[in-house]
Amino acid sequence: MKIFNYGDVSRVTFNIGRFPATALSGLIISAAVALTAAPAAAQDAKSTLVVAGPRTPESLDQEYPPTEAVHELRRNVYERLLTYAPKTGEDGVVYEDFSKIVGALAESWEVPPDKTSITFKLRKGVKSSAGNELNADAVMWSFERGWNLKSNFHWYMTQILKITSYQDAFSKIDDYTVKVSIPNSSPLIERLWINSDLGILDAVEIKKHVTADDPWAQRWLATNSASFGPYSVSKYTPGQEVVYDANPDYYRGAPKLKRIIFREMPTSANRVAALQAGSVDVAEYLLPRELALLEKSPAVKVQKVFGNYIHRVEMNNSTPPFDNVNVRKALNYLVPRDDILKAVYFNTARPTKSPISEIYPGFTDEYFTFTTDVEKAKALLAEAGLPNGFKTEIGYRTGDQIEEEIAVILKSAFAKAGVDVTLSKLPASTLVERYSKGTIPMYFFRDMAIVPDAAYVANLWLNSASLINYSHFKSDEVDKLINEALTSTDEPKRLEGMKRVQQITVESAPWVFLANPGYQVATRANLKGYSWYTPNGNAWFDWSKN
């Protein structure tokens, strides 16, 4: 089974280690303590970062379906052609300025008024971790590989830019210039290249590992990296550890942190213990209640941003009873959102009131009317011909305590209107298989769209032709508005169309709207330079130790 999620947090099989959680925790903490206790210069300790996360990346190849762990890998290893300028928020966190695009590997770029092409002029003297220089051949080979593998790159090019022919679209102008031509106008012709899924590869290094039966070196890139980013992977042990070493020739300057040691600790409590013991510097994806406790420790710093996640329960809109809009609305009126925000998220989350991320241009919450109203829910179910409710099933991932806690709350809340819910705790791979095949009626889904554009977001989740519209929501008007917005350069018209898309979607209630859980990370107090990017992974280049 191959599951692609371009929104971009797919749920595929996760390797949670080869040992019981307690044994694995002991092994990891002991190793980390040994690392910090080993004789080393003070500078080495200051330039090495030890990170604890729930899982290692499932693959190092940027064409692999993106997961949370894979997104973080890409942010640190694969450099893009363009990026957003940084800006510092009132909270002191460095964010992306969505209004200002600047060059990354491309020193400059040109886009005609009709936005039917983009020409990149590459920086000269840029070197990969292997010491190979960036040039047009590397960029063209990256494009060609992505196109032929028909995965992430191909999806962006065909679904967003509407490219149908590689030969017509991609051309080398000279040794440091490449051009991408598209068959129509696109308002995303520039900002799409900021996406960390579209990194440029070190073709010289990768071609050393090409074989007759593996012309794109997929086997090698699954466990090795080769790009022009701030770090490269020097050790990859799936389910246990990833070691990143700094690229001394990185075009923005050598990273202050010379080595990142990422250790897999599947159990959140073990990550907390390791952070408190000082055997790791960073603990990712902790539970809200754990973060609340850690905030009281002077040795620990908790960073919080609201970000762009949307956590929801999706319903299969194509099968009874969820093919009835009144049933879907009824469930939304039964959700005790305030209770969930307090009891589960400890007020680190905000309610979701639109299918569009609240921090993105074009967002509106003016059409969201759902409150906790049991009587209204009962009336809607009666109108749908289900006055006594119905039986159904909600699936959530094994090991996800937050989803399990919310599932228990929803079971009790739905029962007030006669909806009898069976809670199904499933391995991630099983859950993905069931909702991708449409064989589970309701399921938890947490995702984020990493391009800050309302039409891009809507296309991911609401276009009936999208590969990840797992809820099978379909509206001819929504499809039309999305497709128009993907090719229109009339920004006011695009925003008006996306406003209408939000209205139709909220009124159609394809999901049980829950919350934006935000993104949080806990660190030792001596770390500085925390930054937030739309893929929600940490960018180690920005960080340093006091």
Q: With helix as H, strand as E and coil as C, how does 480-539 read?
A: HHHHHHCCCCCHHHHHHHHHHHHHHHHHHCCEEEEEECCEEEEEECCEECCECCCCCCCC
Residues in the chain: 546
Task: Output DSSP code: residue 229.
Answer: S
| Residue tagged 């897999």 (tokens) | 264
CA proximity to 22, closest of 237, 275, 265, 283: 265
Provide the residue ranges of all domains of the chain, joining segments of one domain with +: 9-78+229-304+520-545, 96-204, 310-516
**d(Cα 381, Cα 325) in Å, to the nearest integer?**
10
Amino acid identity at 402: I
pTM: 0.88
Task: Output DSSP code: residue 238.
Answer: T
Under 8 Å CB-to-CB from 528, ≥6 apart: which residues?
Answer: 543, 544, 545, 546
Task: Output DSSP code: residue 451.
Answer: S
Q: What percentage of the chain exceeds 70 in pLDDT?
A: 92
Q: HSE of 536 in the Cβ direction (CA atoms, 13 Å)?
A: 28
Q: Write down the pLDDT at residue 43.
A: 55
**d(Cα 308, Cα 273) in Å, to the nearest integer?**
28
User: How does pLDDT run across 513-537, given as a tens digit for each residue?
Assistant: 999 999 999 999 999 999 999 999 9
Under 8 Å CB-to-CB from 10, ≥6 apart: which residues?
Answer: 3, 4, 65, 66, 67, 432
Contact criterion met (CB below 8 Å) for 63 and 153: yes
pLDDT confidence bin for 467, thresholds 50/70/90:
confident
CA proximity to 260, closest of 242, 278, 285, 283: 242
User: How does pLDDT run across 71-104, given as a tens digit for each residue?
Assistant: 999 999 999 999 999 999 999 999 999 999 999 9
**d(Cα 449, Cα 459) in Å, to the nearest integer?**
10
Q: HSE of 368 in the Cβ direction (CA atoms, 13 Å)?
A: 17
CA proximity to 524, closest of 52, 55, 93: 52
User: How does pLDDT run across 427-451, given as a tens digit for each residue?
Assistant: 988 998 999 999 999 999 999 999 9
Q: In CATH, what class is 9-78+229-304+520-545?
A: alpha beta
* Cα distances (angstroms) measured from residue 386 to each of 321, 375, 421, 440: 9, 14, 15, 20
Contact criterion met (CB below 8 Å) for 71 and 535: yes
Distance of CA 155 to the CA centre of its chain: 16
pLDDT confidence bin for 11, thresholds 50/70/90:
very low
CA proximity to 531, closest of 230, 228, 190, 227: 230
CATH 3.10.105.10 fits 310-516, yes or no: yes
CATH 3.90.76.10 fits 96-204, yes or no: yes
